[in-house]
Amino acid sequence: MFSLNQRFQTVINAAITYAIFIIFLIITLFHFQLYVENNITETVKVNNLNIIKPILNLRTSRMFGGSGKFPKENLRIKFDLNTDLSPLFTWNTKQVFVYLTGAYNSTSTSSSEVTFWDKIITDKKNADLDLHAVMGKYSVWDKQNGFSNKDLQLKLHWNIQPFVGNLIFGEAVMSNSGDILHIPAKEQKTNGTA
Amino acid sequence: MSFSEWLQELSNKMIFPIDLPSQKYTNRVTHKLLFLSSIISVVLGIIYDSMKTLLYFYGASVLICLILVVPAYPSYNENKLKWVERGSNGKSNNLGKSNIEIAG
């Protein structure tokens, strides 16, 4: 602390040290706050999830897993969703990423999970989702088989992206246990390649 | 005069020393002020529900700390070390009985 230069450096070093202290304080308090206020896994509930219809298409584009000779069965869904994600917003929440997935058994030995729809919520005001007849964002396909006669276990995942700290992943609790989507077999329009 | 020589000369002029008690004092002030303000800024951030409040408060307190500590105010130089005066004929004959304050 003898010279001007030394004093300046000491203050800046101390400021950075205490900034790291602040970061740890924020992370600890943030997790504590989420745990106390929400009991995270329990409060975020899906009030209503209604699949209006699953849409199966055969696509030949390479962008959708098919090729000219072997078209691929692509699945999109149209759905209603009502859920309130505002408990996930605290002072440290930058945005919440929410996504709707379906888990199914791809073959008899392996299971897969596909994402039908997602959304980034940046504001607490927009966190109370009430969607009607929304088309899923993504057209999904299976590597090996199609989706015909498959049962998909639907899940709504969320992911908190905080200003400071680690990402927090979770899953919304479904209101009713019957959130299994059964895909009916696609009626054959052409008799040829399958 | 080359640039490095000029820089050397400038840094020699820019020392602005302060005395030893003030050095201890400024060190204490730095750490106490920043520690307290870091806790207060987190509390304010939680109360006002915003990260910005936290950042602004902490930034302001770092600025205040710089203003308090960095310049060599006259009050930081009141207890300067007193050096032995050189004798009249060039000999330092009164070394033993001078009023040197060994700072510690």
- Residue range B55-102, pLDDT digits in tens: 999 999 999 999 999 988 989 888 888 888 876 555 555 555 555 555
Pair (A59, A150) in one structural domain? yes
Return the residue in B46, B61, B81 with the most chain A beta carbons within 10 A, the one to mutate for interface testing: B46
Q: How far apart are CA B8 and CA B15, in angstroms?
A: 11
**Is the pLDDT confidence value at A59 over 80?**
yes
Smallest Cα distance from A13 to chain B, Å:
10
Smallest Cα distance from B83 to chain A, Å:
17
- Residue range B5-62, pLDDT digits in tens: 998 888 888 888 888 999 999 999 999 999 999 999 999 999 998 899 999 999 999 9
> Rounded mean pLDDT of A29-35?
86
Pair (A11, A30) in one structural domain? yes
Pair (A22, A71) in one structural domain? no
- Residue range A149-183, pLDDT digits in tens: 888 888 899 999 999 999 988 888 887 655 788 88
Return the residue in B7, B70, B77 with the most chain A beta carbons within 10 A, the one to mutate for interface testing: B70
Tokens 């964002």 locate to: A137
Pair (A18, A112) in one structural domain? no
Q: What letter would DSSP give residue B63?
A: H
Beta-carbon pairs below 8 A across chains A and B = 78
Output the pTM of the full model. Answer: 0.75
- Residue range A109-144, pLDDT digits in tens: 888 899 999 999 999 899 999 999 889 899 988 887
Is residue A76 in some structural domain? yes
Is residue A174 in some structural domain? yes
Pair (A95, A166) in one structural domain? yes
* Count of structural domains, chain A: 2
Q: Is B50 on the interface with A (CB under 8 A)?
A: yes
Pair (A82, A145) in one structural domain? yes
Kindly identify which residue of chain A lies nearest to residue B15, measuring between CA atoms: A3
Cross-chain Cβ contact A92/B42 below 8 Å = no
Pair (A122, A26) in one structural domain? no
Kindly identify which residue of chain A lies nearest to residue B12, measuring between CA atoms: A3
- Residue range A38-48, pLDDT digits in tens: 665 567 888 88
**Residue type (1 letter), B40:** I
ipTM: 0.75
Q: Is B47 on the interface with A (CB under 8 A)?
A: no
**For residue A90, what pLDDT band results from cuts at 50, 70 and 90?**
confident
Is residue A83 in some structural domain? yes
Question: Domain range for residue A3?
Answer: 1-36
Pair (A5, A96) in one structural domain? no
Percentage of chain A beyond pLDDT 90 is 29
> What is the domain partition of chain B in residue ranges?
20-71
> Rounded mean pLDDT of A72-76?
88
Is residue A78 in some structural domain? yes
Pair (A126, A174) in one structural domain? yes
pLDDT at A184: 81
Is residue A194 in some structural domain? no
| Rounded-to-10 torsion of CA A80, A86, A87, A91 | 150
Residues B70, A4: contact at Cβ < 8 Å? yes
Structure tokens of A125?
């005001």
Cross-chain Cβ contact A91/B26 below 8 Å = no
Cross-chain Cβ contact B15/A15 below 8 Å = no
Pair (A54, A92) in one structural domain? yes
Measured between beta carbons, the chain B residues lying within 8 angstroms of A8 are: 66, 70
Is residue A190 in some structural domain? no
Pair (A124, A171) in one structural domain? yes
| Lowest-confidence segment of A51-55, A106-110, B9-13 by average pLDDT | A106-110
